[in-house]
Amino acid sequence: MARATRAIINLHALRDNYQLAKKQAPDSRAYAVVKANAYGHGVVEVANALSADADGFAVACVDEAIILRQAGILLPILVLEGAMDKAECLTALELDLELALHHLQQVDWLKDLDSGVLKVWIKVDSGMHRLGFSSSEVPALVSQLRALSVIGEIQLMSHFACADEPSNPFNLQQIKTIQTLEPIKLNWSMSNSAAILTLPQAHGSLIRPGIMLYGASPIQHQQGADIGLQPVMTLQSEVIALHQLSPGETVGYGQGFLIERPSIIAVVAIGYGDGYPRAARTGTPVLIKGKQYPIAGRVSMDMITIDVTGGDISIGDTVTLWGTGLSADIVAEQCNTIAYELFCQITNRVKRQYVGSILTNR
Ligand SMILES: *Cc1c(COP(=O)(O)O)cnc(C)c1O
């Protein structure tokens, strides 16, 4: 049989997670954030699975939006970083994309366009200091944009720096900054997954759920299941070798694991070449036959080694790295990272298998 390394993507869970986001913010529209190949889940399959329910999609760049349009997605698409040059502004018009505007240069590119109607989102820097105009610049910018023939609806967007820490007072400070713009009476959007779950006063007219769609927690020290989310990606491989080792022997690169008692070490066909994080240290759990076992020694490119001493493990047994039965949030914490990065890093060598029909039965 072929190498068993696979990411099983549960599209039912994806749709349920989207509905959970909608339920949190019943008066807002929700654009499903599908940037970075839908956080590694496969953007075309994810977008198709959500297209009967979603109000629209958000991607990072125009190239990602083109993939969705080529796949036949007709719903609104917001480009979160906006256009990178004038040609992308033209593409946005042709493909009916909504562009974020975070810089005056992007406004200049629009000045020369005369036909079409472009929806734009002024990116307001409410404190993150990554992209956007300061709130004091916004009123004049709105007037400037209204004078351009190509500009359709103008809306505001902003982004939280610390929404994953619900008690951080900086969140309220950022909301206040957006509220100072109320007199100009434009719709606004500022909620990522964490804010959707914890800051109802920040829901605005449009929410932008990303990580929660994929079932992982956007909030520090919580797991997706604590919030009622279901894992979408289950990453699996299988045991391809077993070794009985004695005290004093060592396992893997750098002799990374020292055997201290008679042990059984299982070799599993997944490594950092598949996107399994090399940062996963000894002790990081994997799931075999419903039981957790620890990684023993360094992650290699194509394999990992697991201490399965005392378990009834055979060659060919399925190993779950994260997903159903083992939260990606737990694995991420062991690797000093977040589930976002684990998902995005899964490489093309890993086959994606989709379960749950792509088309809804509506
Ligand atoms: C990625 C992104 C989101 C989604 O964030 P999650 O934490 O994954 O929900 C929302 N808004 C912007 C601007 C983003 O870049």
pLDDT digits (tens, 9 = 90+) for 170-183: 999 999 999 999 99
pLDDT per residue as tens digits for the range 33-76:
999 999 999 999 999 999 999 999 999 999 999 999 999 999 99
Q: What is the pTM of this model?
A: 0.96
Cα 84 off chain centre by? 22
Ligand 1 atom showing the smallest separation from residue 218 Cα: 7
Ligand 1 atom showing the smallest separation from residue 193 Cα: 9
- Report the separation in Å between the CA atom of 210 and the middle of ligand 1, taken as the mean of its atom positions: 5
Is residue 217 within 8 Å of residue 224, measured between CB atoms?
yes
Give the confidence band of 359 by pLDDT, cuts at 50, 70, 90.
low
Beta bridge partners of 244: 264
Ligand 1 atom showing the smallest separation from residue 35 Cα: 1
Which spans in the chain are helix H? 11-24, 35-40, 43-50, 62-70, 86-95, 104-111, 138-146, 170-179, 193-198, 328-334, 339-345
Q: Where are any strands of DSSP class E within the chain?
A: 6-10, 29-33, 56-59, 77-79, 98-101, 118-123, 151-157, 188-189, 206-207, 233-245, 250-251, 257-258, 263-268, 285-288, 291-294, 304-307, 318-322, 351-355
Beta bridge partners of 157: 123, 189
Q: Ligand 1 pocket by C-beta < 6 Å: which residues?
A: 33, 35, 80, 159, 192-194, 208-212, 218
Tell me which DSSP letter residue 241 carries: E
- Report the separation in Å between the CA atom of 80 and the middle of ligand 1, taken as the mean of its atom positions: 9
Give the confidence band of 348 by pLDDT, cuts at 50, 70, 90.
very high
pLDDT per residue as tens digits for the range 58-69:
999 999 999 999
Cα 72 off chain centre by? 22
Q: Which residues are catalytic?
A: 35, 253
- pLDDT (0 to 100) of residue 358: 55
- pLDDT (0 to 100) of residue 227: 95
Q: Which two three-digit tokens encode residue 116?
A: 């079409």
| Mean pLDDT computed over 248-276 | 98
- pLDDT (0 to 100) of residue 362: 38
- Report the separation in Å between the CA atom of 48 and the middle of ligand 1, taken as the mean of its atom positions: 20
- Distance (Å, whole) CA 182 – CA 173: 15
pLDDT per residue as tens digits for the range 204-252:
999 999 999 999 999 999 999 999 999 999 999 999 999 999 999 999 9
Cα 222 off chain centre by? 16
pLDDT per residue as tens digits for the range 292-316:
999 999 999 999 999 999 999 999 9
Residue whose Cα lies nearest atom 1 of ligand 1: it is: 210
Give the confidence band of 115 by pLDDT, cuts at 50, 70, 90.
confident
Spell out the long-range contacts of 85-88 with Cβ–Cβ below 8 A and sequence spacing 24 or more. Answer: 85/109, 86/112, 88/62
Residue 110 pLDDT > 90 = yes
- pLDDT (0 to 100) of residue 112: 86
Cα 225 off chain centre by? 16
Helix axes 62-70, 43-50, angle to 10 degrees: 60
| Mean pLDDT computed over 318-339 | 97
Ligand 1 atom showing the smallest separation from residue 212 Cα: 9
Question: Percent of the chain at pLDDT above 90?
Answer: 96
Residue 357 pLDDT > 80 = no
Q: Which of 14, 17, 22, 33 to mutate to test the pocket of ligand 1 (most atoms within 8 A of CB)?
A: 33
Distances from the Cα of 210 to the Cα of 32, 97, 139, 272, angstroms = 6, 19, 29, 24
- Distance (Å, whole) CA 32 – CA 14: 10
- pLDDT (0 to 100) of residue 361: 43
- Report the separation in Å between the CA atom of 161 and the middle of ligand 1, taken as the mean of its atom positions: 11
Q: Which two three-digit tokens encode residue 11?
A: 């599209």
Residue whose Cα lies nearest atom 6 of ligand 1: it is: 210
| Mean pLDDT computed over 105-117 | 92
- Report the separation in Å between the CA atom of 256 and the middle of ligand 1, taken as the mean of its atom positions: 37
- pLDDT (0 to 100) of residue 157: 98
Provide the mean pLDDT of the chain. Answer: 96
Q: Three-state DSSP class for 231?
A: coil
